[in-house]
């Protein structure tokens, strides 16, 4: 029986600008993704018994069609016209529902892993289309590193890697922010157009060779409803973070540190939360870890 293990890395958003509500019900975004070394692990095997069997160490996650890994494997199995069955074992470490992209990354790892396992070639445009249908963040995880996301966040343009930095992720133990709620909170404040200076500033950040100020369009609305997240951000900055921001729509908050030792010391300031002292990943490191050439 063939099998392989593949990591599924988390992400943070260095900038996230919510421009307007689209006619399809989604929101128009401009964001800069950055892969970090925190990861889940997915083990895949081909079996003689047809169907998809998914196992997971997190009992709170569904194991059928509601799970993105299951849906990714099903979509790729159909696209490849596989007759064999698939056994998948997912070991979760990325906290679910915290804005770190764990589910989307797991789905991308499932797509990549099944292609590696079968040794099959697949056109990049078709793979990206499958990824986009699974979720807006999934296409980013086919390439990793640092990248610009536009549209729903699913139209990806690779950006030059920045110098490696330590990242401290603080995941509140019990506080979750549903993505649907976060978008509802900011929708009432949106206009159809943003000032040209805002877009110009965002573009400048894309091509800056240095770490610049982090920003997240969800922060004002999310922090107003969950003040503790603002407190976490303030403590990260007090602990020596050069920058700090909400991760995606939350509820995790992360700080970027020039010194890994400082990040580890600051982690002790959050005894009641899950903390992860990790680092940024370049695109080359990311793709090497996945054993994958990428699609961009």
Catalytic residues: 11, 137
User: Which residues, at least 6 apart from 173, have a Cβ–Cβ distance to it below 8 Å?
Assistant: 272, 273, 274
Q: What are phi and psi of 27, to 5 degrees?
A: -110, 140
Three-state SS at 195:
coil
Residues in the chain: 296
CA–CA dist 245, 237 (Å, integer): 10
Report the C-alpha gap between 223 and 225 in whole angstroms: 5
Determine whether 242 is exposed, middle or buried from the number of CB atoms within 10 Å of its CB (0-12, 13-18, 19+): middle
Q: Left (φ > 0), alpha (ψ -120 to 50) or beta: where does 40 sit?
A: beta
The DSSP bridge pattern shows strands 253-257 and 166-171 to be antiparallel
Which is nearest to 289 in space by CA: 85, 70, 40, 90?
A: 40
């Amino acid at each position: 029986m063939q099998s392989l293990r593949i990591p599924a890395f988390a992400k943070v958003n260095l900038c996230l600008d919510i421009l307007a509500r689209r006619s399809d019900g989604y929101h128009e975004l401009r964001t800069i993704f950055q892969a970090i070394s925190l990861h889940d692990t997915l083990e895949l095997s081909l079996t003689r018994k047809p169907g998809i069997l998914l196992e997971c160490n997190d009992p709170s996650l569904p194991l059928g069609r509601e799970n993105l890994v299951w849906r990714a494997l099903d979509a790729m199995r159909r696209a490849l016209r596989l007759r064999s069955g698939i056994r998948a074992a997912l070991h979760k470490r990325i906290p679910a529902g915290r804005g770190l992209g764990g589910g989307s990354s797991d789905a991308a790892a499932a797509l990549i892993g099944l292609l590696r396992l079968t040794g099959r070639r697949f056109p990049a445009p078709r793979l990206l289309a499958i990824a986009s249908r699974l979720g807006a963040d999934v296409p980013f995880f086919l390439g990793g590193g640092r990248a610009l996301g536009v549209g729903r966040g699913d139209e990806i343009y690779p950006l030059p890697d920045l110098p490696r930095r330590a990242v401290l992720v603080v995941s509140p133990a019990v506080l979750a922010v549903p993505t649907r709620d976060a978008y509802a909170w900011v929708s009432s404040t949106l206009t159809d157009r943003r000032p040209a200076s805002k877009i110009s500033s965002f573009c400048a950040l894309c091509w800056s060779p240095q770490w610049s100020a982090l920003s997240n369009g969800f922060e004002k609305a999310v922090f107003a409803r969950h003040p503790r997240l603002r407190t976490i951000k303030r403590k990260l900055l007090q602990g020596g973070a050069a920058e700090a921001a909400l991760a995606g729509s939350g509820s995790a908050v992360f700080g970027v540190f020039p010194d890994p030792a400082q990040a580890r010391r600051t982690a002790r300031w959050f005894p009641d939360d899950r903390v992860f002292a990790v680092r940024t990943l370049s695109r080359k490191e990311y793709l090497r870890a996945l054993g994958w050439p990428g699609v961009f």
